[in-house]
């Protein structure tokens, strides 16, 4: 509810497309439960898909970037155990459960029309005709 209100209020105030970045949940690879308990792969999946459920119906949301592609090293801190474990993949690039669900979800979405894809001219620089 808070995310929906925040997105709607931000768009109403500025009237510009919104890109939502860095949403995710720490997950211990291989930790499972029958319900979505924190740090389980089920919780990570439920958390990410709840964000997508709120964002996708809003046409002004231009995109979303899950945090993060893969787990990575971080300095020791009392709030985490060495690794940032919000990755869709492990540090060794093994997919967590959510990676498969995201792939299936994204493959089910309507595709961008070819005439809106970036074009690469002979100069080698990437340009786009999106207005």
Residue 62, helix vs strand vs coil:
strand
**How many angstroms separate the CA atoms of 54 and 113, rounded?**
24
| Confidence class for position 123, pLDDT limits 50, 70, 90 | low
**How many angstroms separate the CA atoms of 115 and 131, rounded?**
12
Checking if the pLDDT of 111 tops 70, the result is no
Q: Considering all CA atoms of the chain, what is the largest pairwise distance in Å, rounded to the nearest integer? A: 55
Residue 33, helix vs strand vs coil:
coil
Tally of CB atoms within 10 A around 22: 10
Question: 90: closest CA among 105, 69, 74?
Answer: 69
Question: What's the rounded mean pLDDT across residues 86-92?
Answer: 95
Ranges 17-31, 41-55, 62-76, 109-123: which has the least confidence: 109-123
Checking if the pLDDT of 81 tops 80, the result is no
DSSP string, 68-102: -SB-EE---BTTB-SEE---SB-TT-PBPHHHHHH
- Class of residue 16 by CB neighbours under 10 A (exposed 0-12, middle 13-18, buried 19+): exposed
Q: Which residue has the tokens 């979800």?
A: 105
Q: Could you tell me which CATH class the domain 2-116 is placed in?
A: alpha beta
Domain boundaries, the chain: 2-116
pLDDT for 78 equals: 79
């Amino acid at each position: 509810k808070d995310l929906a209100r925040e997105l709607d209020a931000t768009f109403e105030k500025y009237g510009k497309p919104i890109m939502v970045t860095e949403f995710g949940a720490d997950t211990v690879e291989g930790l499972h439960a029958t319900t979505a308990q924190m740090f389980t792969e089920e919780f990570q999946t439920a958390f990410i898909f709840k964000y997508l459920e709120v964002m996708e119906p809003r046409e002004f949301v231009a995109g979303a970037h899950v945090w993060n592609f893969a787990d990575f090293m971080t300095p020791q801190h009392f709030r985490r155990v060495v690794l940032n474990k919000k990755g869709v993949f492990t540090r060794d690039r093994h997919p967590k459960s959510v990676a498969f669900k995201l792939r299936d979800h994204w493959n089910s979405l309507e595709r961008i029309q070819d005439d809106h894809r970036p074009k690469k001219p002979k100069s080698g620089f990437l340009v786009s005709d999106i207005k």
